[in-house]
């Protein structure tokens, strides 16, 4: 019987896709998903012997750890990658290190330190000409500027009994608006509509803070167009909340409540607890202002319940992250790699041919087999077992070599059979050895 084999996917493309998904998950407040994508990227880049790709994936993993509360470990890992990047004079990787540190420092409520790290990252990113990273840095700066508006200007307004939209506060918002325009200029050629939707949503909130409702609505409409046909429930919920703010400012309470209710339901359906907390909080305020105290109390309780579930979710993710934290070990491996300083904007390009990075044709075949196995859904341990099965090793030999029990190896084999659609060891060996060359259809 012939075993159907899918064409091997491009291992570098898979690695880059997983890295981008990790970063997008971090942007959307899903550090648990970000960790999973970062782990896949780490595995793929490790097989490719791409030190820069591994380093950037480790940074994404560290930010995910930091966002869930493992702050000392996250900052320590970032610092160690920074030292390696500095020793190799790798400006782009240094920029990513400073940016990652800034994001984690925000979790520590260290705003001034975060702004300093962002400024350093921006200088390095502009030096390398990386439009994606430069836009990300400017986006965080704009977000921080808006946060400072809400924190500092509201305090000043209460202290001086003046309107919160005084001249200093307006300058902060105008600066945030200008930064958003710069972000759009940097990202417009990347062909990533989801990123453009994010910056338009931030711009909508900035314009709402300025009281410019028509311009805010136009930003919401642009974000809606960019998200058309894309499964991004978190951003959809954020868009509904921005539209609800517009309707609330115009006194359309019914529309405001309807959109906030949709946002809360959408956020809860995809377990985006942080967004759900904000949506129920806004619903409680909206009902209170309209005199519906019973509904306001209901959503206040729902907000507390979602916050409790959010904390439980963070706790579960934290335990899983502690168990799967590969950062320290991978950084040790990175210390033995030699980085080549580059000016390329992404890690998509193949590594330059240097003696330390050259591989034989057999190694290239193994890399392609591994890429196909990763694309099929096998774990790294599963691949290790499958490679030994294809080499003719017995269950006992595999167990001894991998320091596992024979029963554990059998469990791995059963999962492998189900994943790749074969019935026995012979089918698994054929699946592994039946390599499809990239040049064939």
What's the pLDDT tens digit per position in 52-67? Answer: 888 899 899 889 888 8
Within 10 angstroms of residue 353's Cβ, the number of other Cβ atoms is 7
Mean pLDDT, the chain, whole residue set:
78
Q: What residue ranges define each of the domains in the chain, with the CATH number in brackets?
A: 1-128 (1.25.40.10), 363-433 (1.10.10.10)
pLDDT at 219: 94
**Percent of the chain scored above 90 by pLDDT?**
20
Q: Please tell me which of 106-120, 247-261, 383-397, 416-430 the model is most confident about, judged by mean pLDDT.
A: 247-261
Class of residue 425 by CB neighbours under 10 A (exposed 0-12, middle 13-18, buried 19+): middle
Within 10 angstroms of residue 163's Cβ, the number of other Cβ atoms is 9
3-state DSSP call for residue 404?
Answer: coil
Within 10 angstroms of residue 124's Cβ, the number of other Cβ atoms is 23
| pLDDT band at residue 401 using 50, 70 and 90 as cut-offs | confident
Supply the DSSP symbol for 152.
I
CA 266, chain centre distance (Å): 20
Residue tagged 């159907």 (tokens):
4
**Percent of the chain scored above 70 by pLDDT?**
78
Task: Of 278, 281, 204, give the one whose Cα is nearest residue 239.
Answer: 204
**Phi–psi pair at 105, nearest 5 degrees:** -65, -30
Three-state SS annotation for 261-304: HHHHHHHHHCCCHHHHHHHHHHHHHHHHHCCCHHHHHHHHHHHH
CA distances from 8 to 11, 256, 427 (A): 8, 49, 17
CA distances from 126 to 84, 95, 98, 112, 435 (A): 21, 9, 13, 21, 42
Query: Using an 8 Å Cβ cutoff, are 325 and 73 in contact?
Result: yes
pLDDT at 352: 36
pLDDT at 313: 61
pLDDT at 163: 46
Q: CA 246 to CA 283: how far, in whole Å?
A: 14
Query: Using an 8 Å Cβ cutoff, are 92 and 128 in contact?
Result: yes
Q: What is the mean pLDDT of residues 171-180?
A: 89
Query: Using an 8 Å Cβ cutoff, are 31 and 67 in contact?
Result: yes
* CA quadruple 280, 281, 286, 290: dihedral sign: positive
Enter the tokens of residue 410. Answer: 């059998």
Between 170 and 434, name the one with better pLDDT: 170
Q: CA 235 to CA 204: how far, in whole Å?
A: 13
pLDDT in tens, 4-22: 444 445 778 888 889 988 9
pLDDT at 201: 93
Within 10 angstroms of residue 77's Cβ, the number of other Cβ atoms is 27
pLDDT at 38: 87
Cβ contacts of 227 within 8 Å, gap of 6 or more: 193, 194, 197, 235, 236, 239
* CA quadruple 180, 183, 185, 191: dihedral sign: negative
pLDDT in tens, 286-317: 888 888 888 888 888 888 887 777 666 666 55
pLDDT at 363: 56
Enter the tokens of residue 340. Answer: 């080549």
CA distances from 441 to 8, 68, 99, 294 (A): 10, 44, 41, 64
CA distances from 78 to 83, 111, 132, 295 (A): 9, 18, 20, 46
pLDDT in tens, 82-131: 888 888 888 899 999 999 999 988 877 667 888 888 999 999 998 888 89
Cα Rg of the chain, angstroms: 25
Q: Indicate the range of 172-186, 202-216, 386-400 predicted with least confidence.
A: 386-400
Q: What is the mean pLDDT of residues 175-182?
A: 92
Enter the tokens of residue 137. Answer: 């840095």
Q: CA 268 to CA 313: how far, in whole Å?
A: 12
Helices and strands (DSSP H and E) totals, the chain: 21, 0
pLDDT at 85: 86
Whether 261 has a pLDDT exceeding 80, the answer reads yes
Residues listed for the chain: 441
Whether 334 has a pLDDT exceeding 70, the answer reads no
């Amino acid at each position: 019987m012939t075993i159907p084999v899918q064409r091997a996917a491009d291992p570098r493309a898979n690695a880059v896709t997983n890295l981008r998904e990790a970063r997008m998950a971090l942007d959307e407040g899903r550090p648990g998903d970000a960790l999973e994508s970062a782990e896949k990227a780490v595995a793929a880049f490790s097989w490719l012997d791409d030190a820069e790709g591994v380093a950037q994936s480790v940074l994404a993993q560290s930010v995910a750890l930091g966002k869930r509360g493992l702050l000392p470990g996250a900052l320590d890992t970032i610092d160690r990658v920074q030292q390696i990047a500095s020793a190799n004079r790798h400006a782009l990787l240094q920029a990513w290190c400073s940016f990652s540190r800034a994001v984690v420092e925000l979790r520590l409520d260290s705003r001034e330190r975060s702004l300093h790290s962002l400024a350093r990252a921006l200088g390095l990113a502009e030096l390398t000409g990386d439009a994606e990273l430069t836009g990300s840095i400017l986006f965080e700066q704009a977000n921080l500027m808006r946060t400072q508006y809400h924190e500092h200007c509201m305090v000043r307004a209460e202290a001086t009994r003046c309107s919160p939209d005084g001249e200093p506060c307006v300058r902060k918002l105008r600066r945030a608006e200008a930064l958003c325009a710069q972000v759009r200029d940097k990202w417009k050629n990347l062909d990533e509509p989801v990123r453009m939707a994010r910056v338009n949503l931030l711009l909508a909130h900035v314009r709402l803070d300025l009281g410019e409702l028509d311009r805010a609505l136009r930003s919401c409409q642009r974000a809606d167009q960019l998200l058309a046909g894309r499964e991004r429930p978190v951003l959809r919920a954020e868009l509904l909340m921005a539209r609800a703010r517009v309707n609330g400012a115009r006194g359309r309470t019914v529309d405001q409540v309807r959109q906030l209710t949709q946002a809360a339901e959408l956020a809860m359906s995809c377990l985006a607890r942080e967004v759900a907390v904000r949506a129920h909080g806004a619903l409680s305020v909206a009902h209170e202002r309209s005199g519906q105290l019973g509904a306001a109390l209901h959503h206040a309780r729902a907000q507390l319940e979602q916050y409790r579930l959010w904390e439980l979710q963070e706790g579960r993710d934290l335990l899983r992250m502690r168990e799967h934290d590969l950062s320290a070990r991978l950084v040790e491996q990175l210390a033995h790699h030699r980085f080549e300083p580059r000016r390329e904007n992404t890690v998509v390009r193949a590594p330059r041919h240097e003696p330390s990075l050259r591989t034989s044709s057999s190694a290239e075949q193994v890399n392609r087999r591994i890429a196909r196995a990763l694309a099929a859904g096998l774990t790294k341990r599963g691949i290790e077992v499958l490679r030994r099965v294809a080499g003719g090793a017995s269950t006992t030999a595999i167990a001894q070599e991998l320091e596992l029990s024979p029963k554990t190896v059998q469990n791995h084999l059963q999962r492998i059979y189900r994943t790749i659609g074969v019935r026995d060891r012979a089918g698994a060996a054929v699946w592994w050895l039946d390599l499809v060359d990239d040049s064939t259809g």
